[in-house]
Amino acid sequence: MHSIRKFTERARRWWVDRLDPNLEDFKAAYIQIDQVSGYLKSPMQERWFFNAARNAPEGAVIVEIGSFLGRSTVSFALGCKGTSKHVYAIDLFEGDGDMYGQGDFQQQFRGNVRRCGVESYVTDIRSHSLTVAQSWTRPIDILFIDGSHEYEDVKADFHAFYPHVKRNGIIAFHDIKGKWDGVIRYWNEVQRSGYLSRFGTVSSLGFGYKI
Ligand SMILES: C[S@@+](CC[C@H](N)C(=O)[O-])C[C@H]1O[C@@H](n2cnc3c(N)ncnc32)[C@H](O)[C@@H]1O
């Protein structure tokens, strides 16, 4: 039974790969992405970011809350290359207080973005997400929430930026599985909320489209 499921999953992936027009470009981009440390479940999640940016309309605005050293940022930004799409990376850049400790991470972030050759596609905003939301004006095509993983903070980030996301725009959450109870609780809530539809997951990444 187990081997049939494994075979079916491999066959499904084979078809997904054959039908993905961005696959070869992603493989080339991944060589750069993989030089940046971070927390993603690789390489599926990086591929989702890359494709989401690729498939977004010309001029798309991508907002990321929680960039850390830039692994998700450069995954989006490499998918923006050659277009007028742009990534706004919001972070306090003070470290994660977890695996990588505290410190000033902005220069490392910028170095990583520069090494990947995507400076012109990325604007970093060193501030608290809710402060940024107060003066935000650009309509958003893709919002990625990966800042504080506390329930109240995830919910606050969602509601602060939700009004700025375009209809049919994507809102994605990282860490909807595993030990992240706050994110899991809000992700379960948001699926019943009527704010989003057409939900999908890629490992611990969950996303939906604004109604
Ligand atoms: C899990 S890390 C992000 C990982 C990153 N997306 C990656 O690809 O590796 C979370 C980041 O969110 C930042 N952060 C947490 N709360 C924040 C807030 N309210 N506003 C801005 N940044 C925040 C932290 O500084 C940390 O760098």
pLDDT tens figures, 42-87: 899 999 999 999 999 999 999 999 999 999 999 999 999 999 999 9
Q: Ligand 1 pocket test: which of 146, 151, 173, 202 has the largest number of ligand atoms within 8 Å of its C-beta?
A: 146
Q: What is the pLDDT of residue 179?
A: 95
Ligand 1 atom closest to residue 38's alpha carbon, by position in its atom list:
9
Structure-model confidence comparison of residues 143 and 97, the more confident one: 143
Mean pLDDT of the chain: 94
Q: Is the CB of 149 under 6 A from ligand 1?
A: no
Q: Is the pLDDT of residue 4 over 90?
A: no
Q: What is the pLDDT of residue 3?
A: 82
Quote the tokens at residue 201: 């997951």
Please tell me the distance from the alpha carbon of residue 38 to that of residue 132, in angstroms, as a whole number: 23
Structure-model confidence comparison of residues 174 and 5, the more confident one: 174
Q: Is the pLDDT of residue 102 over 90?
A: no
Q: What is the pLDDT of residue 74?
A: 98
The distance of Cα 163 from the centroid of its chain, to the nearest Å, equals 18
pTM metric for this prediction: 0.94
Q: What is the pLDDT of residue 8?
A: 81
Q: What confidence tier does 130 reach under pLDDT thresholds 50, 70, 90?
A: very high
Residue that the structure tokens 């699926």 belong to: 191
Q: What is the pLDDT of residue 163?
A: 98
Mean pLDDT of 1-7: 79
Q: What is the pLDDT of residue 18?
A: 76
> 134 phi and psi, to 5 degrees?
-60, -35
| Cα–Cα separations (whole angstroms), residue 144 to 52, 56, 82, 84, 104 | 11, 14, 22, 19, 22
Please tell me the distance from the alpha carbon of residue 105 to that of residue 108, in angstroms, as a whole number: 5
131 Cα to the center of ligand 1, angstroms? 14
Q: What confidence tier does 1 reach under pLDDT thresholds 50, 70, 90?
A: low
Ligand 1 atom closest to residue 93's alpha carbon, by position in its atom list:
25
Residue that the structure tokens 């993905």 belong to: 20
Mean pLDDT of 32-47: 94
pLDDT tens figures, 187-207: 999 999 999 999 999 999 999
User: Which domains are delineated in the chain?
Assistant: 2-210 (3.40.50.150)
Ligand 1 atom closest to residue 64's alpha carbon, by position in its atom list:
6
Q: What is the pLDDT of residue 95?
A: 79
